[in-house]
Chains A and B, each alone.
Chain A
Amino acid sequence: MKDKIAEKILLLIACSAILLLLLITFFIFQQGLPLVLRIGFGNFFSAHWAPTRGFFGIFSMIIGSLMVTFGALVFGVPFGLACAVFLAEFSSSAIQKTLKPVIELLAGIPSVVYGFIGIVVLVPFIRESFGGPGFSVLSASIVLGIMIMPTIVSISYDSLIAVPKTYREGSYALGATKWQTVVMLLFPAARSGIVAGIILGMGRAIGETMAVIMIAGNALKIPGSIFDSVRTLTATIALELGYAAGDHRAALFACGSFLFLIIIILNVIAIRITGRK
């Protein structure tokens, strides 16, 4: 009897994550969707954002978000993969034991601290070396690249480690070097995990808010170069939510709905690729 009741209660608790996810979905869309339907998708995806005058086009922010996300991948993926390969294949277990927590620590540093270091170190450096305002696509990409690295490292590392030892032994027995084994055997074998890691990193980059607000400049136009200021969807939400009311607030929730949709799609792809064991 006690066992049966306990099982029912635990099942109820276990549903909390999925129920909360549904609750979040419901409230975000309930606030944002009516406005989008009223003004039409054409207006919503136009490039004219002047929320106090009734224009709610988010196109330039979508481009902004895509640019910094792509930039983050350009910096984050090579370094993330390099660390994962180095840790998994080229280092002793003692080095692994010290380096893994160090890289995990990188994930623990608050995003405001990244943003702050961006402001005081990176932005002035880019302004002096390349001209322009410094607050730019490039600065945001570099900082986001660092921020998504831990995700890429830990998931790629896990999938490299999961490749059976016999694969490596077979390869070495055929006279292949370690590097040849990594490129020709381990990468293909661990491909799904690596791709999933990159997709989850993408999700982190597109959803990151505070660091981006602090270093991207937030100008409301499509950037002409990587040295131009840029504004993302997340930045718009965070910058304007504090004072927005009425349709303006609804428009921010519409931004949120769109962002949420992209994140869920990325998550679903990543989950499908890895296929939970």
Chain B
Amino acid sequence: MGFRIEPRVNQKIAYYVLLLMTIITVLVLFFIIGYVFKNGLGQLSFAFLTQKTMDMGKGGGIFSSIVGTLFVALVAIVIATPLGVGSALYLVEYTRGGPVRRVISFGADCLAGVPSIIFGLFGFIFFVIHLGMGWSILSGGLTLAVMIIPTIIRTTEEAIKAVPRSYREISYSLGVGKFDTIFKVVLPASLPGILTGVILGIGRAVGETAAVIFTAGSSHNLPTSLFSSTRTLAVHFYILAREGISMPKAYGTAAVLIIIILLINFAAYRLMHRFIARYY
């Protein structure tokens, strides 16, 4: 056959196509963040962050949503961290392959792939109705806890694996038992990695909508207890944008959301890198 592209030319073309596609991807990210900031940063003010929501969202600020988000995320990590870290410890320190490990891993992997609307349905029927917690910070937080457990398990697993074997061996050689070795040597050594998982879990909790709107509800009053219904930032933003209540307020809320997500990702990235640098 006559026409054949010279491999070196082909290589050049492939390189530039891949480069272009990667640049487009990065530009999409910058566009999204830039667009939200361009329209939203101007809305931010001390008053916007510290005033209660008024007029169904047309007026006032987002203080009640900030408080609500904080508490929902707090409930989620308080519940999910011990479960996630405990699971990871068991997986790494107590199992070597075998069916138990496979079943536990399968559970975590499957849970990680479950879409948030399913968590919303589950939280609604289980926490809100079956356990009678109603639309509340507690129901929302518990639902999110179930959702972020796999994130914490996976990150913690990696962190614990990264702790060199020699740490454990030295501890054993000094006559320290397994339990004390894990809790006094392995756990402290892997703390930054574990923290990364927790921070990423908070990020997922803050950005989540479908799972919290049916469990924490959408009240824009300042929550007074764990049983108060609340409207997290993401839900507040969704309601403002979808019902066209107030575009400026929607942009402002989106900017706050993006800033939080950027900070969380940055913190997680820095922690993980410092941690990796220590052991590799």
Contacts and interface: CB of A to CB of B under 8 A. Distances in A.
A14 B91 contact: yes
A234 B178 CA distance: 47
Interface residues of A, number: 85
Given A86-B21, A180-B7, A117 B120 contact: no
A106 B29 contact: yes
B171 interface: no
Contact of B149 (A17, A121, A177): A17
Interface in A230-277: 234, 237-238, 241-242, 252-253, 256, 259-260, 263-264, 266-268, 270-271, 276
Interface in A1-58: 2-3, 6-7, 9-11, 13-21, 23-24, 27-28, 31
Nearest to A106: B29
B111 A241 contact: no
Contacts of B113: 200, 203-204, 263, 266-267, 270
Interface in B1-33: 7-8, 10-11, 14-15, 17-19, 21-22, 24-26, 28-29, 32-33
B214 A2 contact: no
B105 A10 contact: no
* A86, A105, A109, A110: most-surrounded residue (chain B CB, <10 A): A110
Contacts of A121: 35
B126 interface: yes
B116 to A, nearest CB: 7
A66 B83 CA distance: 35
A112 B261 CA distance: 13
B124 interface: yes
A103 interface: yes
Interface of B: 7-8, 10-11, 14-15, 17-19, 21-22, 24-26, 28-29, 32-33, 35-36, 82-83, 86-87, 89-91, 94, 100, 102-111, 113-122, 124-126, 130, 146, 149-150, 153, 177-179, 182, 203, 206-210, 213-214, 234, 237-238, 241-242, 250, 254, 257-258, 261-262, 264-265, 269
30 contacts: A11-B90, A13-B82, A14-B86, A17-B104, A21-B110, A82-B21, A83-B22, A83-B25, A101-B269, A103-B29, A104-B265, A105-B262, A110-B207, A113-B257, A115-B238, A115-B241, A177-B10, A178-B11, A180-B11, A200-B113, A209-B117, A210-B238, A213-B242, A214-B238, A214-B241, A234-B115, A241-B124, A253-B125, A264-B110, A268-B110
Given A106-B28, A267-B109, 9 more contacts: A103-B26, A103-B29, A108-B264, A112-B241, A179-B10, A204-B113, A204-B115, A234-B115, A266-B113
